[in-house]
Amino acid sequence: MICCQQCILKLSASGSKIREISMYPRGYPTAKTIGAIAALAAGLLSPLGSANGADISTAVQARIEGDSSGGCLAVGRIQVIEDGADIRRETTFACADNETNKPDARTVFEIGSISKAMLGVLAADLVLQGELDIERPVADYLPYSGPPDSAETMLVRHLLTHTSGLPRLPALQPADHEDPYADFTDEALWHSFENAPLASEPGAEYSYSNFAFMILSKLIAEVTGQSLQDYYQTRLFEPLAMEHSGFGLETIEGRLANGDAAKNWNFPKDMEAVGGVRSSLHDMLNFAQLQLGLGPPELVDAAQQSHQLLAEVGEHSIAWGWMLHERNNHQYILHGGGTGGFNAVIIIEPAEQQAVVVLANAALYNTQDVQSLGLHLLDESVEPGLAHRVAAQPEALSLDDYEGDYPLMPGFNLRIFVEDNQLYLQASGQPAAPLNYQSEDTFENLQHGVEIEFERDEDRHVSGLELRQFGQTLSGPREVADDNTNP
């Protein structure tokens, strides 16, 4: 049962009615609930008019309750009615256990790579102002020409669409792997840029690249003559009344998938668009509202421009930093974000004039679940994902069955072994880490976000495995030493 506590009618500056509905599970302290709604300038209490999306509070509570991360979700859904005559916003907040204080609409989260979509809007704005041409070479705007033989072929549009050919990351050598970008320097960035081996010719292939957006961050700062922080603040956050958004703000504590506290991620000056924005649900709904055509006219134009298709490579359709996604005949514009202790997604459905934002203060073990949950809130036929719970290992399970070496690629081998009745994995050049039972032939390491599913042959002998981590999958056959009696 869900209890909604209070409603106040207020007109926006444009005269549109804003219907703000804040939902909490029954028993959440009334004073805090009322305070959160008042802070949101809450509107007339009524159900959201979405025809297809699931009930927001029920779905969010079901997704996070009992999750092994111990984290919380802050989720909002927005719908624009009659070209902005009516704006309906729902918010709900839930945590893995009932003992944790829930976040509210002003609680600040890391939003990770959603920062890239924001940069896409700002880049479109600069194009509309005549300050930037995305068809020009990157080297025209920077004091460095980039990888060999790419000075004329790597265009700004390639950075925006992950088709530059640049590697996923520059040559990071962090002093603290739990805050991997914090000590990266301009000198190291430009050295990496000048010497980067391109995986493909610019424009030829899609390959998601944080490196590319670090370069694009620098390029935007160069074009505007401002720090990236100042430009986001004056051109995006202030016009959209995003008062709890910025770089380096204090956040709710992030969590690893196993429930341990996680460090905040910090980014070097003028590289922050790779993943450095921190924001609240209230502010992110303001940003989502802009994507639906409501806000300062010049920013509305920039947002609409940023939704336009820039590259279609294989199965990937990419706009100006946004991903274009089709599912069940619904067309979505979206971007997700993940840092060490946070996950987030923003999904826009222009045809239905609705959007959803999901913020999590946990590196949820099933990292795609924030996207699945968001899609579920727009289209109930999409499965929302499940809370992750630690499973009990069956007493009769023989861990020795899994021991062996599993070559995953040239020079990269995974060793699986048993010690003191505990299964371990050890990758080439890395320390061993425990693997815990999840389900039949599937094991996990929550600290590192690793899932391993073992494969069996027709005789039920373990013959190989799939390793899944952060959306990537590697496969390898099982190799067993001659003196190993296990078949």
Q: Are residues 213 and 106 in the same domain?
A: yes
Residue 193 near residue 173 (C-beta atoms within 8 A): no
Q: Look at residues 362, 389, 416 and tell me which one is the last residue of a structural domain.
A: 389
CATH of the domain at 462: 2.40.128.50
Helix, strand, or coil (residue 122):
helix
| Residue 121 lies inside a defined structural domain of this protein | yes
| Residue 335 lies inside a defined structural domain of this protein | yes
Q: Are residues 258 and 406 in the same domain?
A: no
Q: Which residues contact 351 (CB under 8 A, 6 or more apart)?
A: 330, 331
Residue 42 near residue 11 (C-beta atoms within 8 A): no
Q: Look at residues 329, 360, 389 and tell me which one is the last residue of a structural domain.
A: 389
pLDDT reported for residue 428: 87
Q: Are residues 178 and 203 in the same domain?
A: yes
Residue type (1 letter), 366? N
| Residue 453 lies inside a defined structural domain of this protein | yes
Q: Which residues contact 305 (CB under 8 A, 6 or more apart)?
A: 124, 125, 127, 128, 320
| % of the chain at pLDDT higher than 90 | 69
Q: Are residues 455 and 309 in the same domain?
A: no
Q: Are residues 453 and 349 in the same domain?
A: no
Out of 74-88, 294-308, 383-397, 419-433, the most confident range is: 294-308
Q: Which two tokens stand for residue 231?
A: 């430009």
Please provide the average confidence, as pLDDT, over all residues in the chain.
86
Average pLDDT over residues 139-158: 94
Binning pLDDT at 50, 70 and 90, where does residue 335 land? Answer: very high
Average pLDDT over residues 27-45: 28
Residue 476 near residue 414 (C-beta atoms within 8 A): yes
Residue type (1 letter), 73? L
pLDDT reported for residue 365: 58
Residue 360 near residue 62 (C-beta atoms within 8 A): no
**CA–CA gap between residue 93 and residue 21 (Å, rounded):** 12
Residue type (1 letter), 69? S
Average pLDDT over residues 8-18: 33
pLDDT reported for residue 289: 96
Q: Any bridge partners for residue 332, and if so which?
A: 325
| Residue 485 lies inside a defined structural domain of this protein | no
C-beta atoms surrounding 2 within 10 Å:
13
pLDDT-wise least confident of 304-313, 374-383, 400-409, 467-476: 467-476
Q: Which two tokens stand for residue 389?
A: 């719970």
| Residue 394 lies inside a defined structural domain of this protein | no
Q: Are residues 85 and 119 in the same domain?
A: yes
Residue 40 near residue 111 (C-beta atoms within 8 A): no
**What's the pLDDT tens digit per position in 206-224?**
999 999 999 999 999 999 9
Q: Are residues 373 and 430 in the same domain?
A: no
Q: Are residues 404 and 328 in the same domain?
A: no
Residue 11 pLDDT exceeds 80: no
Residue 366 pLDDT exceeds 60: no
Residue type (1 letter), 418? V
Q: Are residues 295 and 382 in the same domain?
A: yes
**CA–CA gap between residue 453 and residue 456 (Å, rounded):** 10
Number of domains within the chain? 2
Helix, strand, or coil (residue 128):
helix
Q: Which two tokens stand for residue 95?
A: 């945590």
The residue range of the domain holding 214 is 1-389
Q: Are residues 311 and 403 in the same domain?
A: no
Average pLDDT over residues 258-280: 95
CATH of the domain at 362: 3.40.710.10
Q: Look at residues 325, 356, 389 and tell me which one is the last residue of a structural domain.
A: 389
| Residue 82 lies inside a defined structural domain of this protein | yes
Residue 407 pLDDT exceeds 80: yes
pLDDT reported for residue 368: 58
Q: According to DSSP H, which parts of 75-209 are helical?
A: 114-128, 156-160, 186-195
Q: Are residues 410 and 376 in the same domain?
A: no
Nearest to 255 by CA among 72, 438, 443: 72
Residue 92 near residue 24 (C-beta atoms within 8 A): yes
Residue 285 pLDDT exceeds 90: yes
